[in-house]
Amino acid sequence: MTLAVLFPGQGSQSVGMGRVFYETSAAAKAVFEEADDALGMHLTRLIFEGPEPDLALTANTQPAVLTASVAAAAVCAERGLGPALGAGHSLGEYSALVVAGALSFADAVRVVRKRGEFMQDAVPVGAGAMAAVMGLDADAVGDVCREAAAGEVVEVANINSAGQIVIAGHRGAVERAVKLAAMRGGRKCTILPVSAPFHSSLMAPAAERLAAELGAVEVRDPSFPVARNVDGELTRSASDVKPFLLRQVASPVRWTDCVRRLSAEGATAFVEVGPGRVLTGLLKRILDGARGYSIEDPDGLEKTLAALGARA
């Protein structure tokens, strides 16, 4: 069995995530405490107690999801669950790189908090939007975006599966694209409740500001290859870490390519580590017959260990 770990991104957060791990694992508790120390704030209290609107702020969500994910991975390591490959959706790529040892957790949690601030600041609130389009492939959605742009920006932002594409850009252009996609046969074409047009070219100012933050951190060769959002290829050396994390901010998340690359590299089981089960659901739409498991709490960990043990 070759195990690949998958780490969730923004949108998977919930108040209370990771609390049971914190209460039952010294390794997980240490991760939460390190986050508080690194940021100089009570992030753990916000994660466990909310309020939800504050947790949903991008600058809080990103370090919170990273922390909950790395804490869950620490518990997995305690139980001997070691990956051979990894990937993470958007923010989750940082989680994967931390677990692979390419970034220290303290550096990563500080960087992603700034990343959240910079991404939110890149476009005035209300000026940008994102939308999900179901039932059309990436090429068809790309055509819709080009026709709907009318001098504004609207682009493919996430290729989550063959029939689930997310677009981002100026609000008016996104709204026009949603209407056009529905006319072209798209299903459930809806504006998403997010505060900025992430992973579009409108995020270029955020990437420029993030360069200074990433430039100050030390990177190392990852202990296992990590599939990159930008191109679906693998980061195997320290030299690839910073350039691709910078490109990622204003580039589409090619999640389908990431998962297929992990499979091509020999992954035979996939475990989503951290809050939510979004990636586990997408996995089955990308790979026929894929074995996917999720670990967001001790119950999920026990079930995953039992299933992998039975199938190893």
How far, in Å, CA of 195 to CA of 204, rounded? 16
| C-alpha distances out from residue 11 to 24, 89, 158, 177, 277, Å | 25, 11, 13, 22, 11
Ranges of the chain whose pLDDT falls below 70:
310-312
DSSP assignment string, 203-214: GHHHHHHHHHHH
Cis peptide preceding 51, ω within 30 of 0: yes
Which run of H or of E encompasses 145?
helix 138-148
In the chain, the amino acid numbered 152 is: E
Residues annotated as catalytic are 90, 199
- What residues contact residue 235 under an 8 Å CB cut-off, 6+ apart? 97, 102, 222, 225, 226, 227, 228, 241, 244
Residues 133, 141 contacting (CB under 8 angstroms):
yes
| Two tokens, residue 297 | 């709490």
Domains of the chain (ranges; CATH) run 3-122+202-311 (3.40.366.10), 128-194 (3.30.70.250)
Q: Which residue has the tokens 């920006």?
A: 153
pLDDT at 193: 86
pLDDT at 201: 98
pLDDT at 312: 45
Span 52-73, pLDDT tens digits: 999 999 999 999 999 999 999 9
Half-sphere exposure of 292 (CA within 13 A, CB side): 22
